[in-house]
């Protein structure tokens, strides 16, 4: 599958700027001399080395997008792009989930995947948040509303599928917009809108602690709930309305009618699930309680992920939230539920963290990688 994709990518002769997501042909990319900043003539192929500057005899190692003016990493011009968007309401745990998921993805040796940053923003952003969580034991701040952070640009290699000197490699971009950007009016010119338009997959985060059924049903201890919400009350929200609102936002961003269903895979991530795991309606032997990795004999364990999806649908129905599943089915052709905990336990008072033991944070990304045929 990847070989066919790469062959088509080379034949078409274009790739996508990971910043503005405009498609670029080779002649459009600007090659800039790193010594004198002079623009030089582009090489004949994406994979060729840096062009030589005729003015100072230096090398044009800087590749720049002519549309947005931002520098494009070399790997991003040589590999197919796999853009993911993370959407959800404010304080649903998107930033925590992304940070921990990426960190754990680099540590899961059984997956045989190599992950690395392509630019300084990605490196600094991930390292700062990772240090807060793992080293300092504090939760990172929420993504500020209004302002737009640049996308994180990673490369990911599937070493298990290496053939000779060729390793299947994607440019793996992640966009994490502020939750308020998904709740307010849509700006077609915004970065989040462009990313949703181009995304090959969407991760939709839902915080079960804001559900009225969870709040009123005694499912979560009040102190635990407040600590998990950073000491605030958090308010309650209707899950069905959240899904419909976000689905309408995504459809508007992608330019399709509300009567249509989205045909890209959507991982519905129930965050902060450590607070829910003891609830009796999950069942004593519920697989979602197990911390194991859904990866067996070199393949994603899709049967295990399907069982978790079924357990979570059953749990939502038991607590009176079946409408959320119906709302998803009415808007998304292919979706699956996941129960994750970025920290493994609720924060302590003052927003400090216990020892980080993530729970099932890789399930959503493995499911989406399998859908993209990047992993088996």
More confident residue, 194 or 360: 360
- Structure-block tokens of residue 202: 């969407």
In sequence order, the β-bridge partners of residue 286 are none
More confident residue, 141 or 114: 114
Q: Please give the angle made by the CA atoms of 10, 14 and 16, to the nearest 5 degrees.
A: 120
- For the ranges 49-58, 200-209, 359-368, the lowest mean pLDDT is seen at 49-58
What integer best gives the mean pLDDT of the chain?
Answer: 83
- In the prediction, which pLDDT does 368 show? 94
Tens-place pLDDT, residues 297-336 = 889 999 999 999 999 999 999 988 999 999 999 999 999 9
Length of the chain: 376
**What is the biggest distance separating any 2 CA atoms in the chain, rounded to whole angstroms?**
73
- In the prediction, which pLDDT does 196 show? 81
30-32 and 62-64 strand pairing: antiparallel
Backbone angles phi, psi at 311, to 5 degrees: -60, -40
Segment 67-73 mean pLDDT: 91
Pick from 96, 105, 91: which is nearest to 134 by CA?
Answer: 96
More confident residue, 145 or 152: 152
Tens-place pLDDT, residues 5-30 = 444 444 334 578 888 888 888 788 89
**What's the CA gap between 8 and 158, in Å, rounded?**
19
Residue carrying structure tokens 């069905």 = 240
- For the ranges 59-63, 288-292, 347-351, the lowest mean pLDDT is seen at 347-351
Residue 255 has pLDDT above 90, yes or no: no
Tens-place pLDDT, residues 205-235 = 988 888 878 777 677 766 666 656 655 555 6
Segment 189-207 mean pLDDT: 82
CB 219 within 8 A of CB 279: yes
Give the contacts of 109 (CB within 8 A, at least 6 positions apart).
Answer: none
- Tell me what percent of the residues of the chain surpass a pLDDT of 70: 83
More confident residue, 306 or 53: 306
């Amino acid at each position: 599958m990847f070989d066919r994709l790469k062959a088509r990518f080379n034949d078409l002769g274009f790739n996508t700027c990971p910043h503005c997501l405009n498609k670029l042909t080779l002649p459009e990319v600007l090659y800039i001399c790193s010594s004198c900043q002079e623009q030089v003539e582009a090489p004949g192929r994406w994979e060729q080395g840096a062009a030589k500057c005729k003015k100072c005899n230096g090398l044009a190692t800087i590749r720049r997008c002519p549309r947005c003016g931002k520098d494009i990493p070399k790997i991003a011009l040589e590999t197919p792009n796999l853009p993911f968007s993370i959407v959800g309401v404010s304080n649903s745990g998107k930033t925590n989930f992304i940070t921990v998921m990426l960190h754990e993805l680099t540590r899961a040796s059984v997956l045989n995947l190599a992950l690395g940053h392509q630019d300084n923003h990605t490196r600094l952003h991930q390292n700062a948040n990772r240090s807060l969580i793992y080293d300092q034991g504090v939760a990172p701040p929420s993504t500020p509303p209004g302002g737009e952070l640049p996308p994180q640009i990673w490369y990911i290699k599937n070493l298990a599928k290496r053939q000779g000197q060729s390793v299947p490699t994607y440019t793996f971009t992640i966009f994490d917009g502020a939750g308020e950007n998904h709740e307010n009016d849509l700006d077609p010119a915004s970065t989040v809108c462009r990313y949703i338009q181009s995304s090959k997959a969407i991760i939709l985060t839902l915080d079960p602690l804001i559900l009225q059924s969870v709040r009123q049903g005694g499912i979560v201890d009040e102190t635990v709930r407040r600590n998990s919400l950073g000491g605030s009350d958090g308010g309650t929200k209707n899950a069905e309305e959240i899904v419909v609102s976000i689905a309408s936002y995504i459809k508007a961003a992608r330019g399709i009618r509300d009567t249509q269903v989205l045909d890209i895979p959507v991982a519905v991530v129930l965050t902060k699930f450590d607070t829910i795991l003891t609830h009796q309606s999950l069942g004593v032997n519920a697989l979602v309680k197990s911390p194991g990795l859904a990866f067996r004999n070199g393949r994603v364990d899709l049967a295990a992920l399907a069982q978790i999806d079924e357990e979570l649908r059953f749990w939502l129905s038991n607590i009176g939230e079946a409408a959320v599943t119906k709302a998803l089915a009415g808007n998304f052709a292919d979706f699956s539920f996941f129960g994750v905990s970025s920290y493994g336990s609720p924060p302590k008072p003052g927003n400090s963290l216990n020892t980080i033991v993530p729970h099932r944070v890789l399930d959503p990304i493995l499911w989406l990688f399998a859908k993209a045929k990047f992993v088996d």
